[in-house]
Structure 1
Amino acid sequence: MFYCPRPPLIPRLIFLTSRPSSAEWCVAMGAVVRQFVSADPSKCIGCGLCEFACALEKEGTLDATKSRIRVVRLSPMANAAVACRFCENAPCVRACLRDALYQDEEGIIHVEDAKCDLCGWCIEACPYGAIVLDPERTTVLICDLCGGEPKCVEICPTEALSLATEEEARKLWHESISSIVSEVKQVVERGAWELLFARASDIAGKVEAKLKELAKMVASAGPS
């Protein structure tokens, strides 16, 4: 999510004819545009490579339960992935009784492990289910965008993940769902099963390539 004050009157009038997006307003006003990892359900195949890459990058393990991004299977034809959306006035931060969470100027939520007692209130408060509990380290795990270059986005074989603002993500979601409905109708009503077979064959090759990339990451990191 991005935080942006309402622009002054004159700049608003100048921009009036161009009908800028909310993100463009923020840039014009010098405000910080907040982005998060957004998933395109029409492209996500639910392979889970994003989870493995995240866990490896942040925790040095292939244990997907330690991933800061979660694959969500919406239906047989639609998958998505969820990570922290860096909410304005973050409810997780407000819910923490020990002040173990704080939000920086970029919107990133930081965890002070020494203060966290695994009470779980932040998890309950998160409207997206994007906070992961790690009992081994007695703390919680929250996406921090890997310093601006998320490994989950990099490893996704179908380019289903991208950095987006709230406005962009909402638009993408609606377009994606419409695309899925259209594809299902085409396959079922017209019997165009060859479309699915061709897509599956193409995706298989991309997944294989990304698996090799992940293997190199494992060899380089030397996870436990």
Structure 2
Amino acid sequence: MKLGFLVDLALCMGCKGCEVSCKVENEVPLSMWRLRVKYVDVGTFPETKRTFTPLRCNHCENAPCERICPVSALHYLENGIVNVDKERCIGCAGCVMACPYGAIYIDPETNTADKCTYCAHRVAGGMMPACVVACPVEANIFGDLDDPTSNISMYIMEHQGNVKVRKPEKNTHPKHFYTSGGEVNLNPLASKREEGYNLFNNITHLKHVGGH
């Protein structure tokens, strides 16, 4: 078994239900996140569009966080989940610096590393991760990548050529996939201010158009 995650960005509407359910289920401190939904606005007024991208641990097959941990607090479960053992963690933050996705944080209450674990405690009990259950449009798809009949495997087959991962050049081999997303969703450098853009002038233009 090799568990993986896929987000259909064409369905995600940015409601943040997944983000909130993750915080509640895992008692994540208010100032931290295991899962967050990134908003990216593209285009120029009046032709603009807002896109949404849920970001979480990628549970890489070649995970830098697992390799760098000196006490094996970051470790693989048999189902492929990269888990965190808080009893072993010494709070050195090596994993935080090693992760190319910014998915790990140091819990200010326990001073130990924490991140998305695909709700490993729920999965062990035969349940889906909290974010999957909370999504009203079923944009979050979770399952066994080794099972060709699983929902996620069939989804990947149906969307061949349109399945992407974040930062493939890092060779971490993520088990977290996205479909229906462009560069602006997965590449932070793809979203930039247009040449000649001036925030003050744009606000002034909007006020003029609105008659205020």
Which range, TM-score by smaller chain? 0.5 to 0.7
Once the two structures are TM-superposed, the CA of residue 175 in structure 1 deviates from its matched residue by 5.1
**TM-score, length of structure 1 as denominator length:** 0.54
* Per-residue deviation, residues 132-178 of structure 1 (Å, max 9, x unmatched): 33111111222222233011011112322112659838734575137
Judge which range, 148-157 or 109-118, deviates more: 109-118
Q: For 1:70, give the aligned amino acid.
A: R
8 Å CA contact retained: 2:106, 2:112: yes
Query: For 2:90, which of 117, 129, 140 is the aligned residue?
Result: 117
Q: For 1:113, give the aligned amino acid.
A: K
8 Å CA contact retained: 2:60, 2:82: no
Counterpart of 2:26 in 1: which secondary structure? helix
What stretches of structure 1 move > 6 A for 4+ residues in a row? none
Aligned equivalent of 1:89: 62
Once the two structures are TM-superposed, the CA of residue 81 in structure 1 deviates from its matched residue by 0.8
Distance 1:94 1:65, change over 3 A: same
Unaligned runs of 5+ in 1: 1-31, 181-224
Greater strand percent: which structure?
Answer: 2
* Per-residue deviation, residues 24-79 of structure 1 (Å, max 9, x unmatched): xxxxxxxx23312x3222222323221211111122x6x55454212122335211
8 Å CA contact retained: 1:53, 1:151: yes
Distance 1:175 1:69, change over 3 A: closer
**TM-score, length of structure 2 as denominator length:** 0.57
1:135 aligns with 2:101: no
Aligned equivalent of 1:145: 118
1:155 aligns with 2:134: yes
How many aligned positions are there? 145
8 Å CA contact retained: 2:3, 2:142: no
Q: For 2:162, give the aligned amino acid.
A: K
Query: For 2:21, which of 40, 45, 53 is the aligned residue?
Result: 53
Higher relative contact order (CA 8 A, sep 6+): 2
8 Å CA contact retained: 1:70, 1:130: no
8 Å CA contact retained: 2:2, 2:80: no
Distance 2:73 2:3 in 1: 22
Identity of matched residues, % = 36
1:74 aligns with 2:40: yes
Distance 2:132 2:76 in 1: 23
Distance 2:7 2:31 in 1: 19
Once the two structures are TM-superposed, the CA of residue 91 in structure 1 deviates from its matched residue by 1.1
RMSD of the TM alignment (CA)?
Answer: 2.9
Distance 1:78 1:33, change over 3 A: same
Unaligned runs of 5+ in 2: 42-48, 146-151, 165-177, 185-212
Distance 2:100 2:162 in 1: 19
1:177 aligns with 2:177: no
Distance 1:34 1:117 in 2: 27
